[in-house]
């Protein structure tokens, strides 16, 4: 789905990415790993079209991202979902409303929204938190809401940039379980992390490919 060929990025004299070549295939779970400052978030910025690549370096379904116009880049961005560390949940809406909000904006028929919502609610076990006050949810519950919102959107791939931050190991494994569940129902997952415990757990449970920066 994504092909990266000899992608490099310098910020002035600082060489951040050096001749990166890799692919992201549909349905897989792939991890971008490397120490802090190694260029993980820079690579993510290329993947979400925030940084424009040079010609012949980043391809989406065989199309060179470098030659897409602004409206085509917008269209590409709508195919990707990124989960941010601060979740970007809307505080005034319930978890359920947060999850379906993007579908309402797209004017998806209500029957379709309900079907998709019920499926994701079962998958991530949301029934006890769906109507709670967002501000009262735990870190872990917010993470589930953010993942549910990603899944319901049916993106081509979901990027999670350092989802485990400074978590204890139990929460790390819970996070890993959500990523595995999302992957098992067909989502392509790009996980950016330097969390060894998370990587070890995933390696035991799924076929994990890694891009080392
Ligand atoms: P990581 O996510 O792996 O921690 P980043 O991709 O955020 O790494 O950053 C890699 C390096 O590039 C860091 O040294 C960072 O300071 C530098 N950098 C990132 N963005 C910019 C920018 N817009 N201008 C200058 N330097 C940058
Ligand atoms: Mg980063």
Confidence bin at 194 (pLDDT 50/70/90): confident
Positive or negative torsion for Cα 117, 118, 119, 121: positive
**Residue 140: per-residue pLDDT:** 83
Helix, strand, coil content of the chain in percent (nearest 5): 40, 25, 35
Report the distance separating Cα 67 and Cα 55, nearest Å.
Answer: 7
pTM of structure: 0.90
CA of 16 to the centre of ligand 1 (A): 7
pLDDT band at 166 (very low <50, low <70, confident <90, very high): low
pLDDT at residue 19, rounded to an integer:
95
Q: Is the CB of 102 under 6 A from ligand 1?
A: no
Q: What is the mean pLDDT of residues 139-153?
A: 90
Tell me, in angstroms, the distance from the centre of ligand 2 to residue 161's CA: 7
11 lines ligand 1 (CB under 6 A): yes
Relative to the CA of 161, which ligand 1 atom is closest?
Answer: 2
């Amino acid at each position: 789905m994504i092909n990266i060929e000899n992608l490099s990025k310098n910020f002035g004299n600082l060489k951040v990415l050096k001749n990166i070549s890799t692919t992201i295939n549909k349905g897989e779970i792939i991890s971008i790993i490397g120490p802090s400052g190694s260029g993980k978030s820079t690579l993510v910025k290329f993947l979400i079209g925030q940084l424009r690549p040079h010609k012949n370096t980043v391809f989406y379904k065989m199309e060179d991202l470098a030659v897409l116009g602004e409206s085509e880049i917008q269209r590409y961005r709508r195919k990707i979902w990124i989960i941010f560390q601060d979740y970007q949940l809307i505080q005034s809406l319930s978890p359920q409303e947060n999850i379906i909000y993007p579908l309402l904006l797209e004017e998806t028929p209500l029957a379709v929204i309900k079907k998709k919502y019920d499926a994701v609610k079962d998958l991530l076990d949301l029934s006890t938190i769906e109507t709670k006050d967002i501000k009262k949810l735990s870190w872990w519950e917010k993470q589930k809401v953010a993942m549910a919102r990603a899944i319901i959107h049916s993106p081509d791939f979901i990027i999670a940039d350092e989802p485990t931050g400074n978590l204890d190991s139990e929460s790390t494994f819970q996070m890993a379980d959500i990523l595995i569940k999302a992957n098992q129902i067909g989502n392509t997952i790009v996980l950016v992390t330097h969390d060894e415990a998370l990587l070890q757990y995933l390696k035991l449970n799924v076929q994990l490919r890694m891009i080392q920066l």
